[in-house]
Amino acid sequence: MAIKRFVVGNYDDEAVLFPAVKKVRMAGYKMHDVFTPMPIHGLDVAMGLRDTSLHTAGFIYGITGTATALSGIGYALVYDWPLNFGGKPHFALPAWIPIIFELTVLFSAVGMVLTFCYLCQMAPFVRKHHFNLRSTDDQFTMVIECTDKTNIEGVQEFLKSTGAFDVHVQDAETGWWLGTYSKNIPSVDNAKTILV
Amino acid sequence: MSAFRYESQVRPPLVTGDKTYHQITVDIVRPIENRPSRLWWIGFLTAVLLLCFGIFSVTRQVIYGVGQWNLNKTVGWGWDITNFVWWVGIGHAGTLISAILLLFRQGWRTGVNRAAEAMTIFAVMCAGQFPIWHMGRVWMFFFILPYPNTRGPVWPNFNSPLLWDVFAISTYFTVSLLFWYCGLLPDLATVRDRARLKWRKFFYGMASFGWSGSTKHWQRHEALSLVLAGLATPLVLSVHTIVSFDFATSVVPGWHTTIFPPYFVAGAVFSGFAMVQSLLVISRKVLGLEDYITIEHIDVMNKIILLTGSIVGVAYLTELFIAWYGQNPYEFFAFFQNRANILSPLGWSYYIMMGCNVLSPQIFWFRKFRRNIVLTFFMSVIINIGMWFERFVIIVTSIYREYLPSGWSTYYSPSIWEVGFYLGTFGLFFTCYFLFSKFFPVIAVAEIKHILKRSGENYKEKMGPEEKESVEAFAHEFEHAH
């Protein structure tokens, strides 16, 4: 990843943030992301994010679990070592349903959580740049990505006009890196912070 | 969909006091950032002592064998399996609150779900100890797992409810843990970003996986929570159903009944909610969280206790009726001699069960009693004693006098090491719970913030113009503009 320049606008209420997101999109600025302390329903739609496909992944993991259980038990009890349990058929499907169900749920849950962590690039000892530490507490942070052609002062003025109580510029690493949060990072300390 | 859902004025607020988002963070994170109180240390050390006694009891049992317990040829399942079923049952309330109430869109769950889910995980950990150590040669426990081995290979019996149990409990534990931890991620990030001390930055930074609060991540997080809730709902019903199959698929009179699955699930939720009440009535007071776990929450949970307690009561009476109506002499003997006859050797336990589980919760028909905190705590303990006796009645009074009188064993009482093992699981449970309440947010911070604007006392006013506006309309407008 690379270090890029961003205009950061902080809002103190989602009721101000919503119209601001709409105005920024209408004006055509490139929105990097919006960081919020809690889920805000509809914000993804307002930002124009497509719906997640995590459900589909969960379904695929689920049927993988079903197939694993069915084939595994079938292999063990019918093909590999058919044992006689009280004269019942070797292929005793009704008695297998509990384990088939449990493995379906297990595969689906574990698979979805791992996929979630992969998509969001989250793991222990993963470190990212956080634009505003209060955005996990009570502030809402909108981040606009700048290019060579961006009029940075103009963007800052625009965010001010949408109701941001604090607007500044940060240079930040966009990806993740291995590290702990107990160490200071040079890119944050050296980031140029220009307040309007 | 409007951005914020409107909630009726008739509903009482779920967050009391004049709260802002920042105030919520400060209130809930306070116990983590402050030094633990003296009360915490006393409770924690007591729990650790109990745990040590439990470890000592189990160690003796591993060295000398299951003979350390007073089990005999007839009563092969005594306290041990009773405790197992009791602990598994307690776990069920947490999943009910976090999963089923999420699907039902119950706002009040946000105040209690985190602690209840933690309770689920710790309770399942305690439950798992009993069947494992009951094996005797515990170092061979892996024989129950299906893996290619050099003994044939010999596979476990996949048609056996005892093996279903292995899969059900381990799946339940894994899924509950994942669900709980995914919910914790944003809150751990909140603690991380507030941290001043180096070890806190390190620990919460590692534990929060680098959560940033990005809208895309929140969107995936919501989808994940919803699907995990959808998976956990049938899972939680299946777990106690499968535990009940351990009994119901046998031919022991008193166990061989088709009513067991729904009856066990209702009983599990019943005892679980009682344990949630016990823990939260104390936690809200000690941690100063009365604004988030309000009297409304306690009231609602008491209603669920009343409902599930009454379902359990109907199940008890149905069993008795069918034992009479079915005209099977062995079944009749199990119910009317071993249990309902108060003069029989263990008849007293049946009446403790009936009194604690069916009669005493009926006081919750009265609003005044539902909202009395001292009474709620007292009742929650009574109910858990009653539910322990339910499992004792099912297990011991069914097998101590079965078909053959020559095999009867008229009296069974536990040895000190059996009791010690049980106390040890209390130690394990409370050690975990005390650590949890010190190092993790006991209430889901982000979820409380999510409901603040529609259920908070200071916000429950009216919908503003912003809430009435639809984001879908904006998305449509945007597509046409560009």
Q: Is the CB of residue B11 less than 8 Å from the CB of residue B455?
A: yes
Instruction: Note the pLDDT of residue B9.
Output: 65
More reliable by pLDDT, B445 or B17: B445
**Averaged over A151-158, what is the pLDDT?**
89
Q: Chain B contacts of A127, Cβ < 8 Å?
A: 205, 210
Question: Which residue in chain B is spatially nearest to A76 when comparing CA positions?
Answer: B155
The whole-angstrom separation of Cα A171 and Cα A187 is 8
The whole-angstrom separation of Cα B427 and Cα B178 is 24
For residue B79 the two structure tokens come to 């306290």
Pick the closest to residue A128 from A175, A190, A188, A186 (CA basis). A175
Of the pLDDT bands very low, low, confident and very high (cuts 50, 70, 90), residue B1 is: very low
Q: Is the pLDDT of residue A174 over 80?
A: yes
Cα–Cα separations (whole angstroms), residue B47 to A149, B54, B282: 64, 10, 16
Of the pLDDT bands very low, low, confident and very high (cuts 50, 70, 90), residue B174 is: very high
Measured in angstroms, the CA of A148 and the nearest CA of chain B are apart by: 23
Q: Is the CB of residue A121 less than 8 Å from the CB of residue B210?
A: yes
- The number of residues in chain B equals 482
Tell me the three state secondary structure of residue B52. Answer: helix
ipTM score for this prediction = 0.92
Instruction: Note the pLDDT of residue B3.
Output: 42
Q: Which of B25, B189, B192 sits opposite A138 (nearest CB)?
A: B25
Measured in angstroms, the CA of A157 and the nearest CA of chain B are apart by: 23
The whole-angstrom separation of Cα B216 and Cα B227 is 17
Q: What is the DSSP letter of A131?
A: S
The whole-angstrom separation of Cα B219 and Cα B122 is 29
Of the pLDDT bands very low, low, confident and very high (cuts 50, 70, 90), residue B466 is: low
Question: Which domains occur in chain A, in start order?
Answer: 3-50+124-195 (3.30.70), 54-119 (no CATH)
For residue B155 the two structure tokens come to 């596979």
Q: Which residues contact B404 (CB under 8 A, 6 or more apart)?
A: none
Chain B residues 190-219 with a CB less than 8 Å from chain A:
190, 192-195, 198-199, 201-202, 204-207, 209-219
- B9 backbone φψ class: left, alpha, beta (φ>0; ψ -120 to 50): alpha
Would you call A181 and B206 a contact, using CB atoms and an 8 Å cutoff?
yes
Average per-residue pLDDT in chain A?
88
The pLDDT tens digits for B405-462 are 898 987 788 999 999 999 999 999 999 999 999 999 999 999 888 888 877 777 765 5
Chain B residues 419-458 with a CB less than 8 Å from chain A:
446-447, 449-450, 453
- B327 backbone φψ class: left, alpha, beta (φ>0; ψ -120 to 50): left
Q: Which residues contact B200 (CB under 8 A, 6 or more apart)?
A: B191, B192
Q: Is the pLDDT of residue A34 over 50?
A: yes
Pick the closest to residue A117 from B267, B286, B181, B378 (CA basis). B181
Q: Which of B186, B206, B211 sits opposite A125 (nearest CB)?
A: B206
Chain A residues 72-111 with a CB less than 8 Å from chain B:
72-73, 76-77, 80-81, 83, 85, 88, 92, 95-96, 98-99, 101-103, 105-106, 108-110
The pLDDT tens digits for B298-313 are 999 999 999 999 999 9
For residue B271 the two structure tokens come to 């005892």
Q: Is the CB of residue B400 less than 8 Å from the CB of residue B346?
A: yes
Size of interface A-B (CB pairs under 8 A): 235
The whole-angstrom separation of Cα B354 and Cα B340 is 10
Tell me the three state secondary structure of residue B471. Answer: helix
The whole-angstrom separation of Cα A124 and Cα B384 is 38
Q: How far is CA B407 from the centre of its chain?
A: 37
Lowest-confidence range among A40-54, A182-196, B97-111, B368-382? A182-196
Of the pLDDT bands very low, low, confident and very high (cuts 50, 70, 90), residue A84 is: confident
Q: Chain B contacts of A85, Cβ < 8 Å?
A: 157, 159
The whole-angstrom separation of Cα B408 and Cα B402 is 7
B178–chain A Cβ distance below 8 A for any pair:
yes
Measured in angstroms, the CA of B127 and the nearest CA of chain A are apart by: 18
Q: Among the residues of B135-197, which ranges form H helices?
A: 161-194
More reliable by pLDDT, B482 or B61: B61
Q: Is the pLDDT of residue A176 over 50?
A: yes
Q: How far is CA A137 from the centre of its chain?
A: 18
Q: What is the DSSP letter of A49?
A: P
Report the amino acid identity of residue B396: V
Would you call A96 and B159 a contact, using CB atoms and an 8 Å cutoff?
yes
Pick the closest to residue B240 from B449, B88, B57 (CA basis). B88
Q: Is the pLDDT of residue B11 over 80?
A: no
Cα–Cα separations (whole angstroms), residue B290 to B70, B296, B298, B372: 45, 11, 11, 14
Q: What is the DSSP secondary-structure string of B309-349? A: HHHHHHHHHHHHHHHHHT--HHHHHIIIIIIS-TTSTTHHH
- The number of residues in chain A equals 196
Would you call A101 and B238 a contact, using CB atoms and an 8 Å cutoff?
yes
- Residue B104, burial from CB neighbour count under 10 angstroms (0-12, 13-18, 19+): exposed
The whole-angstrom separation of Cα B334 and Cα B320 is 10
Q: Which of B163, B235, B475 sits opposite A48 (nearest CB)?
A: B475
Q: Is the pLDDT of residue B2 over 60?
A: no
The pLDDT tens digits for B199-219 are 999 999 999 999 999 999 999
For residue B259 the two structure tokens come to 């009513």
Q: Supply the pTM of this predicted model.
A: 0.91
Q: Which residues contact B447 (CB under 8 A, 6 or more apart)?
A: A38, B110, B113, B183
Q: How many CA atoms lie within 13 A of B348 on its CB side?
A: 2
A50–chain B Cβ distance below 8 A for any pair:
no
Q: Chain B contacts of A58, Cβ < 8 Å?
A: 227, 231
Q: Is the pLDDT of residue A157 over 80?
A: yes
Chain B residues 24-63 with a CB less than 8 Å from chain A:
25
Would you call A35 and B212 a contact, using CB atoms and an 8 Å cutoff?
yes
- Residue A125, burial from CB neighbour count under 10 angstroms (0-12, 13-18, 19+): middle
The whole-angstrom separation of Cα B360 and Cα B341 is 21
Of the pLDDT bands very low, low, confident and very high (cuts 50, 70, 90), residue A192 is: very low
The whole-angstrom separation of Cα A88 and Cα A63 is 27
Tell me the three state secondary structure of residue B407. Answer: helix
Q: Is the CB of residue B174 less than 8 Å from the CB of residue A106?
A: yes
Q: Is the CB of residue B208 less than 8 Å from the CB of residue B445?
A: no
Give residue for tokens 């209060």. A134
**Averaged over B33-45, what is the pLDDT?**
91
Pick the closest to residue B423 from B44, B85, B48, B43 (CA basis). B48
Cα–Cα separations (whole angstroms), residue B392 to B251, B374, B385, B400: 18, 28, 11, 11
The whole-angstrom separation of Cα A40 and Cα B4 is 8
Would you call B211 and A106 a contact, using CB atoms and an 8 Å cutoff?
no
The whole-angstrom separation of Cα B169 and Cα B127 is 9
Lowest-confidence range among A117-126, B381-390, B471-480? B471-480
B238–chain A Cβ distance below 8 A for any pair:
yes
Q: Which value, to the nearest 10 degrees, does the dihedral of the CA atoms of residues B6, B10, B12, B16 take?
A: 60
Q: Which of B152, B205, B231 sits opposite A181 (nearest CB)?
A: B205
Q: Is the CB of residue B289 less than 8 Å from the CB of residue B257?
A: no
Report the amino acid identity of residue B374: V
Cα–Cα separations (whole angstroms), residue B443 to A83, B31, B271, B315: 51, 11, 21, 35
